[in-house]
Amino acid sequence: AQELMINSEKLTIAGQLAAGIAHEVRNPLTAIKGFFQMMEKDVMENKLYFDVIGSEINRIEVILNELLLLAKPQEAKFEFKNIEVILNHVLTLLESQTNLNNIQIIKNIEPSIPLIKCDENQLKQVFINFLKNSIEAMPRGGMIHIDVLQQSASSILIRIVDQGSGIPEHLLNRVGEPFFTTKEKGTGLGLMICKNIIEEHQGKIKIASSPSGTRIEIHFPTS
């Protein structure tokens, strides 16, 4: 129990640090962005440089916003919730993206899955991050299977299986490292955030991947 306490204390310090960094960087960034937009109106001959600076500023902004989200664990509110309701809400949020990308989601939830004690918003964030990765891995569309199974008297298993390009074996142990991304516009923060949230819920994540798809397994305690 003592070790657990030390760990969660570390997390809080990391969270505070992240919030500090994000706030410190965001103010000057906002000023730069404002001046940049004003200057852009006159100086069209340097358009290429402006475009590069502009997209780099946007990238910093995206990263900071994700870090800020990460730095709010003190707002966590644990309540008993129905996993199906949470999943349905997430799928509604992602509907336009899945339609646009020709992706079909096949959901299979075993009957009488117990309520799980969780922070609803954090758990939604986890599903959004995993599903976005699956969508991004399937540029030509395909199916994503989501299964929720009762695994034992005290745990459930949430499985997300996609038909995407997969994660090369030599990179599998790097995903989830902060800022590790293989995408041009990625932040490499999605899986790290998922890992943190699941750990706070005393759950476990397993990732298996092959060139024909990726399988995410989230084990969740129900008591």
Contact region with ligand ADP (CB under 6 A), list: 35-43, 120-128, 150-158, 180-188:
180-188
Q: How far is CA 73 from each of CA 24, 43, 49, 118, 176, rounded to the nearest angstrom?
A: 19, 44, 38, 13, 18
Site for Mg ion in 106-165 (CB under 5 A): 133
CB contact at 8 A, 203 and 217: no
List 54, 181, 199, 222, residue binding ligand ADP (CB under 6 A): 181
β-pair type (155-162, 142-152): antiparallel
Under rule CB under 6 A, residue 137 binds ligand ADP: yes
Among the listed residues 153, 79, 160, 76, the one whose alpha carbon sits nearest the alpha carbon of residue 116: 79
Under rule CB under 6 A, residue 134 binds ligand ADP: yes
Among the listed residues 130, 27, 121, 7, the one whose alpha carbon sits nearest the alpha carbon of residue 70: 121
List 166, 190, 203, 213, residue binding Mg ion (CB under 5 A): 190
- The three-class DSSP label of residue 103 is strand
Q: How far is CA 2 from each of CA 6, 73, 145, 223, rounded to the nearest angstrom?
A: 6, 20, 39, 21
Under rule CB under 6 A, residue 187 binds ligand ADP: yes
Under rule CB under 6 A, residue 203 binds ligand ADP: no
Q: Looking at beta carbons only, is 164 or 190 nearer to Mg ion?
A: 190
| Smallest distance, ligand ADP to C-beta of residue 28, A | 24
Site for ligand ADP in 144-173 (CB under 6 A): 162, 164-167
Among the listed residues 55, 214, 22, 18, the one whose alpha carbon sits nearest the alpha carbon of residue 132: 214
Place of tokens 């943190």: 196
Find the residue with minimal CB distance to Mg ion. 190
Burial code of 180-197, b = ≥16 C-beta within 10 A, e = fewer? eeeeeeebbbbbbbbbbb
Under rule CB under 6 A, residue 98 binds ligand ADP: no
List 86, 214, 218, 220, residue binding ligand ADP (CB under 6 A): 214
Binding partner of residue 167 among Mg ion, ligand ADP, none, CB cut-off 5 to 8 Å per kind: ligand ADP
CA–CA gap between residue 51 and residue 58 (Å, rounded): 11
Q: Looking at beta carbons only, is 55 or 152 nearer to ligand ADP?
A: 55
Write each residue from 19 to 58 as x if it is in contact with Mg ion (CB under 5 A), else as -, in one continuous string. ----------------------------------------
Report the interface residues with ligand ADP, using CB under 6 A.
129, 133-134, 137, 162, 164-167, 175, 180-183, 186-191, 214
